[in-house]
Structure 1
């Protein structure tokens, strides 16, 4: 690692980083102040004895550390992620976890709702295509982009409540696609960066299909894969809307039993569920229902 700092705009915030991210939106000039920082080194001493005792993560209010096969990360003060390479990982391997996991935790601490889903601008509306890994979000997002939609965020949507409205902020102009989608879209992997810790996906530039302005969220489409006889799709009403929003929170699996929605977090979840249309789509993985789902989404925007 060199001593150079790199500066970016991401989720409406200014980022100072010791690591260079080719996929992020770079700032042409160094900002006077930065909102968040990625800093190489600086892991506190108390972490290492805990690792030796068998812990792989530690959580306090607005503070978290964890390690995996690529890196060791310490997220704190609603501002900073300290990191080093770890185990058999390299610095480049560790950096793969910044755009998703690390940012999801850090921005949640900054009171941004982090939804596991892609954010798209379509027909002058802003929608989220949400779902668990393997639900088909990337396939749907790719096909919607072919139909004229613009990408705001690929797999992690960040939403802030501002003056009573819920605003989604653009992430960066890159989409991650699985190998079957790469082949389906006739893309050459020789020119693409592989994300080996995310189901062996590849990063595809969306600079020409990127919407770089914050926008009010209008609708969320939750996609689930289940053992259903046929495709089901419906708009959700009442208290079930809140349950869908909570189910779509990105980082709950990481916190496990430690995860809790604080009262002000719940207020945001309730507000979002009240203000936007929410649809649930259940599909059978063995059935080809792609066009039917796309038509349903477009007809309900």
Structure 2
């Protein structure tokens, strides 16, 4: 248990199923009621003593402490799944500091707590969380945004926190923000006339001067992310744990001959391979000594969830077609269970 006097007056937040007390302001996160004991504390600290060790590599693992350097931004130390220390470099952009704090650092902290971090986006369909995974540019966040436009709530973007319980995998919501590229934002705007899309109440102007888009206010351009913007999703965020119903792997194929979307069901081994391939920061797992836990957890999850691979043409914007196909596949699965 942490010394409560240390964090008096700090921000109190929730994310990934954790109560967080932070010396740094974290406007992206959901505020929590003060008074409850925190699971994680985030504080500023002088970590420059690690500089020599970080010259050769950008991270050092020492027991239950993971020290990470983002050149020009900050040094972070993540310890025992309970504490993140932050040492920003002089003149660092604090939006970028938070980007890595809530991304890479939280991914490491989740693994230290034996919570499985899937790299992808997740939405709520039929009372369960469904994860969308894929390589960079496959369309994970864009598809999740298309589901939001169609009236479905978002659970997570980038890091999906999953606890493999004895009965089923449970997803803990992240925080109400998406990272979306300019192309995706403009393409999603073009869907506004679609009958499946909810009308938006607000107008938005990109801070870099692009035309108004149908979202929430002024969008922050993410430093260090090529043409990506932080899109708040407060009104479309589901903030309670729920079971993981399935995993969809998006694969973009450079072909004009493909139909809008083609699905391939995944068996247990295929689902296991997909979970292993799309684990957040998976390159660090063996160095953290978590290989056995990692593989065993992924294997248990693969036996409990449904999996599909969705092939789409990379030469067309297919988000609305994929939304409809995903819903058909899930309803078909639910009906097949109901017939037994």
Which residue in the other structure is 2:295 paired with?
A: 266
Residue 22 of structure 2 is aligned to residue 7 of structure 1? no
1:30 aligned residue (3, 28, 35): 35
**TM-fit CA distance, 1:180:** 2.1
1:247 aligned residue (255, 267, 277): 277
**What's the RMSD between the two structures over aligned residues?**
2.3
**TM-fit CA distance, 1:87:** 6.7
Aligned pairs, number: 296
**TM-fit CA distance, 1:88:** 5.4
In 1, distance between residues paired with 2:285 and 2:38?
Answer: 31
Which residue in the other structure is 2:206 paired with?
A: 189
Q: What does 1:188-207 align with in structure 2 at a 5 Å threshold?
A: 188-190=205-207, 191-207=218-234
Q: Which runs of 5+ in 2 are unaligned?
A: 1-7, 190-202, 208-217, 331-340
Pick closer, same or farther for the CA change 1:290–1:90 going to 2, 3 Å.
closer
- Which deviations, in whole Å up to 9, do the C-alpha atoms of 1:145-188 show, x marking residues without a partner? 12221011112100012243210011111222112233343741
Which residue in the other structure is 1:41 paired with?
A: 45
Pick closer, same or farther for the CA change 1:266–1:88 going to 2, 3 Å.
same
In 2, distance between residues paired with 1:264 and 1:93?
Answer: 31
Pick closer, same or farther for the CA change 1:88–1:159 going to 2, 3 Å.
same
**TM-fit CA distance, 1:211:** 1.0
Residue 220 of structure 2 is aligned to residue 220 of structure 1? no
Which residue in the other structure is 1:238 paired with?
A: 268
**TM-fit CA distance, 1:257:** 7.4
- Which deviations, in whole Å up to 9, do the C-alpha atoms of 1:104-144 show, x marking residues without a partner? 11111110010011111012232011122211112111111
Superposition TM-score, scaled by structure 1 size = 0.90
Which residue in the other structure is 1:81 paired with?
A: 84
1:56 aligned residue (50, 55, 58): 58
**TM-fit CA distance, 1:210:** 1.1
In 2, distance between residues paired with 1:142 and 1:170?
Answer: 16
Q: Which runs of 5+ in 1 are unaligned?
A: none
**TM-fit CA distance, 1:256:** 8.3
In 2, distance between residues paired with 1:289 and 1:193?
Answer: 26
User: What is the DSSP-based 3-state SS (H/G/I as helix, E as strand, rest coil) of the residue aligned with 1:213?
Assistant: coil
More off after superposition, 175-184 vs 258-267? 258-267
In 2, distance between residues paired with 1:26 and 1:138?
Answer: 24
In 2, distance between residues paired with 1:204 and 1:91?
Answer: 17
Superposition TM-score, scaled by structure 2 size = 0.80
